[in-house]
Amino acid sequence: MADIFFSYASKDRDRIAPLVETFKAQGWSVWWDQHIVPGSSFDDMIEQAIAEAACVVVAWTKTSVNADWVRREALFGLEKDILIPVLLDDIELPFAFRRTQAAKLIGWPQQEQTNGDLERLLQGIRQTLGSIREVKEELVPRGDERPSIAVLPLDDLTNDTTLLGLADGMTEDIITHLAQNPTFFVAARNSSYQFKGGASDVREVGRALTVRYVLEGSVRKVGNNLRVVAQLIEVETGGHIWTDIFNESVEDIGAAQDILTEKISNAVASAAGNDNFQRILRTPREELGPWGLLALAAASPVNNREGRERRQTLIRSAIALDPSSGVAHVRLADVLAQDVVADLSEDPDADRKLSLSEIESALRLAPGNAAVLAIAATAYMNLGEKRRSISLARRTLVLAPIPPSHMTLANVLLRADEAEEAKSIFEALAEKAPKGLGLNHRGLTIACCILGDYERALSHAEEWELWSPGEYSACLIQANLLSALGENDAALVAIEKLREKVPRFRLEEGIESLEKGNTGTARERLTGGLKIMLERERSTD
């Protein structure tokens, strides 16, 4: 990451070079387009460099003031509040930039400048770099990689006396909803409300509340609808990582508030979680704490020995750093149980015993952590402990009534052949969290298949594949359903499509993969159509 991104018109390169050297003499790193690697995409390199820069210096000249790309780069710096403009010619600036005080080095470098002119420019850069570095150093302690967020009070723009207090109520509800998610750190209401009213610098909020993300927005009435505009901002850069507009009818104000709160909270959790994981990926492993190591472990591939070994190594490293982490212990229990159920364990009895022991340790260390209970429920199901699994999943939902908890309960119910209840949960989730439809359609596909409603199951399987392109199981279950419905040619097409993704695919392997972890009706209906295809294939051979 460069300290300074220098924006200028290429015709002014000779005038700019002495300034670049002056900046470098201060110990600052400078990015200007001479750094572009031959063959690289110009736009991609520019976008990455300016996004990572701590300060944007724009040189305004008679040439650059008419250059669209200079204006775009300067606007980016202005929006992030890291723009330092320097005026090299006596010109009128574009309207959007007239409020920002520009350092004046008119005629540079031909005309002699006073030390004061140049020093004011350098001081402005020092202040901007110092502010950015201060935020980076104080934002979140190293080793704590959990997504951390402050929810600022929503601005009330309703101008409606019947809606007094609505914005504050929604703010409190969003804070509560996010705080129920054990994977987040959420600043307390009293802390966030010190910034109520007036514009707040997100970097100031980040320093004061020790968070990486700030959620801000407004509530207004538009016709018969209640509209909430919300945006999630990353404190370090001041840039938006997510923004959206939500509308609900005001006919039932209480219902509208509940629906909006849940939709906003779910979207924020997804956006912050995804952005935070990308941050973890960019962090050197030796600098990660237990949370970061566990996040990497969760993302490790499980379809090969190397990936599974890497996953266990990361989890055991997290336990070594923090032996009291219930999350780390239950993660280890979960991967051991997965290997047992998938017949990948070299010593199933020993791994099963260790998995059960790790679950007990995790529940003892973190009995009230919903994430621990949810993972333990899944591990228990993989170990065949259905009663314990469902009991823990229901307790999870009581502790944290959020979509991931509903998803955990629905999935263990599916595995226990309780498809009707699982189906109702997935249908409710599809309404509340439409942007997570891939997982919802997967659940509905399996539930409808177990219930024998193959037509509806097929419809959901097609949606599942649409939301999760290339998903192996989605294609495989489609083939099973088509065969079960007697659509033999279409089933063969689905298998051929699958073979394009997995050239060495064999029906026997597909059936075996669907049978693992399933019993009874689920096992029969998830593989019945494929077994018919296998019989035909063998008879043809």
**Given this model, what pLDDT does residue 382 score?**
92
Tell me the two tokens of residue 151: 């929810």
The CA distance from 57 to 493, in Å, is 58
Q: How far apart are the first and last CA of the chain?
A: 61
- Domains of the chain by range and CATH? 4-138 (3.40.50.10140), 148-250 (3.40.50.10610), 438-541 (1.25.40)
Distance (Å, whole) CA 268 – CA 3: 30
Tokens of 226: 């209640």
CB atoms within 10 A of CB 487: 16
Residue 528 Cα to chain centre, angstroms: 37
Which of these, 22, 28, 23, lies nearest to 2 by C-alpha position? 28
Cβ pair 31, 2 in contact under 8 A: yes
Are 267 and 229 a contacting pair, CB within 8 Å?
no
pLDDT of residue 133: 46
Which of these ranges, 46-50, 156-160, 193-197, has the smallest mean pLDDT?
A: 46-50
**What is the rounded average pLDDT of the residues 387-411?**
92
Examine the pLDDT at 468 and tell me if it is beyond 50: yes
Rounded mean pLDDT of 405-414? 93
Give the pLDDT of residue 142.
Answer: 45
Q: What integer best gives the mean pLDDT of the chain? A: 84
Beta-carbon contacts of residue 299 (< 8 Å; ≥ 6 apart): 277
pLDDT tens profile 108-130: 776 655 556 777 788 888 887 76
Q: Which of 26-35, 214-223, 365-374 has the lowest mean pLDDT?
A: 26-35
Which pair of tokens denotes residue 374? 């949810």
Evaluate whether 326 touches 365 at the Cβ level (below 8 Å): yes
Return the HEC string of 428-463: HHHHHCHHHHHHHHHHHHHHHHHCCCHHHHHHHHHH
- Give per-residue pLDDT as tens, 303-332: 677 888 889 999 999 999 889 999 999 999
* Pairing status of strand 225-234 against strand 240-249: antiparallel
Q: Could you say which DSSP state residue 359 is in?
A: H
Flag whether pLDDT at 267 surpasses 70: yes
Distance CA 409, CA 464 (A): 20
pLDDT score recorded for residue 198: 60
Residue 412, token pair as written in the block: 């263990």
Given a cut of 80, whether residue 288 has pLDDT beyond it is yes
Burial status of residue 510 (CB atoms within 10 A of its CB: 0-12, 13-18, 19 or more): buried
**How far apart are alpha carbons 151 and 134 in whole angstroms?**
22
Q: Are strands 155-156 and 103-104 parallel, antiparallel or unpaired?
A: unpaired
Closest to 359 (Cα-Cα) out of 319, 323, 332: 332
Cβ within 8 Å of residue 467, ≥6 positions away = 437, 438, 441
Range 239-266 average pLDDT: 89
Phi, psi of 155 (to 5 degrees): -75, 130
Q: Model-level pTM greater than 0.85? A: no
Q: How confident is the model at residue 244 (pLDDT cuts 50, 70, 90)?
A: very high
The set of residues, in sequence order, having a beta carbon less than 8 Å from that of 219 and lying 6+ positions away, is 154, 155, 156, 157, 158, 163, 166, 167, 170, 226, 227, 228
Q: Can you give the pLDDT at residue 137?
A: 42
Is the model more confident about 90 or about 305? 90
pLDDT at 432: 65
Q: pLDDT digit string (tens) for 334-383?
A: 999 999 988 888 899 999 999 999 999 999 999 989 999 999 999 999 99
Kindly compute the dihedral angle of the four CA atoms of residues 415, 419, 425, 429, in this order, to the nearest 10 degrees.
80
Q: Is the pLDDT of residue 527 over 90?
A: yes
> Pick the residue with more confidence: 280 or 437?
280
- The one-character DSSP state at 221 is E
How much is the pLDDT for 131? Answer: 53
| CA nearest to 422, candidates 399, 401, 445, 400 | 445
Tokens 């998903």 belong to residue: 471
Gap between the Cα atoms of 410 and 416, Å rounded: 10
pLDDT above 50: residue 135: no
Tokens linked to 264: 């906003």
**Over 60: is that where the pLDDT of 186 sits?**
yes
By percentage, how much of the chain surpasses pLDDT 90? 35
Q: Which has the minimum average pLDDT: 80-84, 150-154, 273-277, 415-419?
A: 80-84
Residue 247: phi, psi to the nearest 5?
A: -130, 140
Is the backbone peptide bond immediately before 109 cis, with ω within 30 degrees of 0? yes
pLDDT of the residue at 255 = 87
